[in-house]
Amino acid sequence: EILNEINKLGDKYGESDVNENKIALIDYSSPNIAKPMGVGHLRSTIIGQALANIYHKTGFSVIKDNHLGDWGTQFGKLIYAYQKWGDKEKISKNPIKELNDLYVKFNKEAEKNPELDEKAREFFQKLERGDKRLVNLWREFSKLSVKEFNKIYKKLGVDFDIYIGESYFSSEADKEVKEALKKGIARKDSATGAVIVDSLDVPSFLLQKQDGSTLYITRDLAALRFRVKTFKPDVILYVVGQEQTLNFRQLFELSKALDILDKVQAKHTGFGLVLAGEEKMSTRKGTLIELKELISQSVAKSKKILLEKNPDINKKELKEISEIIGVGAIIYNDLRQSRSKNISFNWERMLNFEGGSAVYLQYTYARINSILKKVKSTQLKKTSNIIFEKDIEFLIAKKLMFYSIIINNAQKFDFPHLIATYLEELAQIFNSFYNNVSIIETKDKNLRQSRLILIKSVAQVIKNGLELLNIKVAERI
């Protein structure tokens, strides 16, 4: 029965409607403009996209929301630096790098000359008040950045429904401050005039700075109210690093106190760090890898391995397949273990054909595909009268039955790695079967056909599962 079902449903096998009529809003990726997208945002991008796929598979309507970091005092700094040291031509050639360099330069100079910070604050205030010239500059920075981000999203096969950055909530954030004051949840600090929240069951925090400008959390509060009102979601996921755990505890407590979360479940779906060796990657230490660089490294390594394995592969195939393997390696490296763990980049493991990698699954898929190519398609259609001879054949069929349950669990606990673990187990049992039995040479016609249908089902489930993780398969490797 299960084999019939897999064959009948094909790419749809695993879909369910347990969450029919429910809406999930997933906030992920959310990089900061005028900065290169680093490996930290890579995790959010990869985990968020996988969760969006998984939620969708269980019946949710999913809204994929990129909450760009496009507002805050740092833009005061950037605009100041741009006006003082910026070179238009250089920026149009290599926008993100130049803007980032300007920002770094500002911080260096400000260490020597603290007055600069004051200047930057003034600029940001002007920007918040809508100064035309500054707003235009800022808009240009934002446009250039999003264009770069989109290139990376395209490579990773990631897409969003909406890009609503923090800037969109800047004036609503002011209203939130008033509301919180009115309800007596926040209070004005008599010494500084800043607005502070210290009435909740979380460590106290600022809602408005002394100069009247808003903060990250204030804009998030406005964004949360907007999301609830506009999309009426049942659940909102914030796919953001674990460093921000306290921030989200504070945000959710505050939102509860303001009655925003009455009908919605808000979850901080955190994840661990990206390590270089034993340490967190950092710009300051120069250990931060740019995402673009990481992807091209991975693709180049995949190309080398592919060429070693099949020296006469043609150029077009080499390019296509090495992209699939290279990008898959990076995604899988993130999703293979529980998201709360830290990750690092170990190329040997990431590109290991023997297990623990995407390419192991992709290779298993391609192997099955090459067997199936050798047989006539009519032999794969008839699914009645399936017979097995060995225990392992039953084991594989039983494993296939569990696929939908795994997806539902992955959704329930926001754990994409459950799918990765499952796929590896499936591939392992398949491979030990494959290594011990010659499928094509099976004498009994019925048994042969049953085996073909069994492995075809394995290939289908590997493909479906990898697709949920946003990883592609190649028909041959």
* Binding interface with ligand ARG (CB under 6 A): 27, 30, 32, 67, 69, 220, 238, 240
CB of 216 to ligand ARG, least distance (A): 7
Judged by phi (left if over 0) then psi (alpha if -120 to 50, else beta), residue 88 lies in alpha
Nearest to 75 by CA among 170, 176, 171: 170
Please tell me the distance from the alpha carbon of residue 473 to that of residue 122, in angstroms, as a whole number: 52
Q: Which of 397, 306, 389 is nearest to 353 (CA)?
A: 306
Shortest spacing between CB 245 and ligand ARG, in angstroms: 12
Number of neighbours of residue 267 by Cβ within 10 angstroms? 14
Query: Least distance in Å: CB of 183 to ligand ARG?
Result: 22
Smallest distance, Å, CB 48 to ligand ARG?
A: 10
Nearest CB to ligand ARG, comparing residues 160 and 238: 238
Residue 70 or 98: the one with the smaller Cβ distance to ligand ARG is 70
The CA-based dihedral angle spanning residues 420, 57, 69, 293, taken in that order and rounded to the nearest 10 degrees: 40
Shortest distance (Å) from residue 226 CB to ligand ARG: 11
Instruction: Specify the residue, 32 or 470, whose C-beta has the smaller distance to ligand ARG.
Output: 32
Exposure string for 220-250, b = 16+ CB within 10 A, e = fewer: bbbbbbebbeebebbbbbbbbbbebeebbbb
Nearer to ligand ARG, 30 or 460 (CB): 30
Smaller CB distance to ligand ARG: residue 74 or 449? 74
Question: What is the residue type of 131?
Answer: D
Q: Environment class of residue 147 by beta-carbon count within 10 Å: exposed (0-12), middle (13-18) or buried (19+)? A: exposed
Q: CB of residue 171 vs ligand ARG: minimum separation in angstroms?
A: 17
Q: Which contacts qualify for 405-411: CB closer than 8 Å, 24 or more apart?
A: 407/14, 407/16, 407/54, 407/57, 407/58, 407/468, 408/16, 408/18, 408/58, 410/54, 410/468, 411/19, 411/51, 411/54, 411/55, 411/57, 411/58, 411/60
**What DSSP letter does each residue of 253-277 carry, written as one string?**
HHHHHTT-SSS-EEEE-----EEET
At 317, the amino acid letter reads E
Q: Which is nearer to ligand ARG, 150 or 442 (CB)?
A: 150
- Rank residues 250 and 464 by Cβ distance to ligand ARG and give the closer one: 250
Which residue lies nearer to ligand ARG by CB, 273 or 455? Answer: 273
| Min CB(134)–ligand ARG separation in Å | 21
* Residue-wise DSSP of 5-26: HHHHHGGGTT---TTTT-EEEE
Least Å distance, CB 61 to ligand ARG, is 20
Q: How far is the CB of 92 from ligand ARG (least distance, A)?
A: 25
CB of 238 to ligand ARG, least distance (A): 6
DSSP 429-462: HHHHHHHH--STT-SSHHHHHHHHHHHHHHHHHH
Q: Which residue in this structure is represented by tokens 């289908």?
A: 460
For ligand ARG, the closer CB: 37 or 474: 37
Distance of CA 350 to the CA centre of its chain: 18
Q: What is the DSSP string of 188-216?
A: E-TTT--EEE-SSSS--EEEE-TTS-B-H
| Residue with the CB atom nearest ligand ARG in the bound state | 69
Of the two residues 66 and 362, which places its CB atom closer to ligand ARG in the complex?
66
| Amino acid of residue 346 | N
Nearer to ligand ARG, 216 or 388 (CB): 216
Q: How far is the CB of 71 from ligand ARG (least distance, A)?
A: 10
